[in-house]
Structure 1
Amino acid sequence: MDGDIRLRQRLAAGDDGALRQAYDHFSSLVHTLALQVTRRREVAEEITQDVFVHLWENPYAFDPSRGTLRTWLAMLSHRRAVDWVRKEERRRRLLDAVEHAEPAVPIIDVIIADETEVRVRHAVAALPQRLREAVELAYYRGRTYQQAAIELGLPEGTLKSRIRTGLRCIADTLAEEESV
């Protein structure tokens, strides 16, 4: 653990020898995990590079008090590989939807709708729990305001306020993403 702390300090100081050391020790693990998830060598190589670039550019993203560098890099590799698989699956679904879509539906509408759905789901997931629960019950589980309020043990007005606040937060998040 002390070695991980020192390595992080060296990375933060811009010591490229520290990056080389981390790469030598953990690149095989990172690549293997990415390859197991994606089943694509070129994608696993890209993920491996991304993981180590992230480590180099953000050494303090790794917190030694929460685990080892090995575990953190493995988790990062796995997350990025899973994200790639999900993105690839969405792309395949889009292609299937396009092939089977009515000619009246422009392809751009299908693409925008799918991307918007993903962005909204991420924004909902990022909400504080009390807001997320209210929004999910009302919009994803089809509950009326009254049903959702009873389920959460809240006055109906409080539930409506949480939903409005949650929707504002989602709109702000989406607006920020568009401005980037």
Structure 2
Amino acid sequence: MTIIPFPARGPRRYGVPVVTGALSYEDEQDDLVQALAARLVAGDEAALEEIYDRWSALVHTYALRALRDPHDAEEVTQQVFVAAWRSRHTLTPSPVALPAWLVGIARHKVSDVRAARARDADRLAAVVSLPGVHDEALEAADDEVAERLVVRQAVEDLPDPRRTILFLAFWEERSHAEIADRVGLPLGTVKSHVRRGLMKLHQQLEGVRHESR
């Protein structure tokens, strides 16, 4: 299998100081992601390295949680980005397409690993005269894991103060009033950030669900 020596991606942190200019920054990031996708489709190898650097942690975490085997997770991660390069012409560039498209590829690769494991289990079961075991709930669980990871990644990619506001709202379950006190913004501004953030997350999830079909 082709191995691509991409650089490792550094960890992200929540709760950094709140700054202004979130909307313009977010629009700029959307433009950068769309441009990055367009460069990949055009065959720019440097774009593939940038995509790996930004989203390999998401793909690897999903694969590891789905397969529960570090070796298989590493293998799937490499396969996803090799497949992304080979099938780049199937990607339609947009601000939310890249992570959804990558997770869609990852889900297919995880399914391939599961199928291989099932075949091995069937062969073993035949040897010891036991029925093979197939758990259809695994795919549903994979879907849930993928969506949770995409949501987390999408929140991490947001600029502050929206990133901090969504983190406080959904991970710490703070009320809008508590968040407003915490970040020092008007209550209406906090509610607006939550509403716009939810719209962004909805777009990400719709992309993942579409790519997995």
Q: Which has the higher contact order (CA 8 A, sep 6+)?
A: 2
- Bigger Rg, which one: 1
Tell me the TM-score normalised to structure 1 length. Answer: 0.50
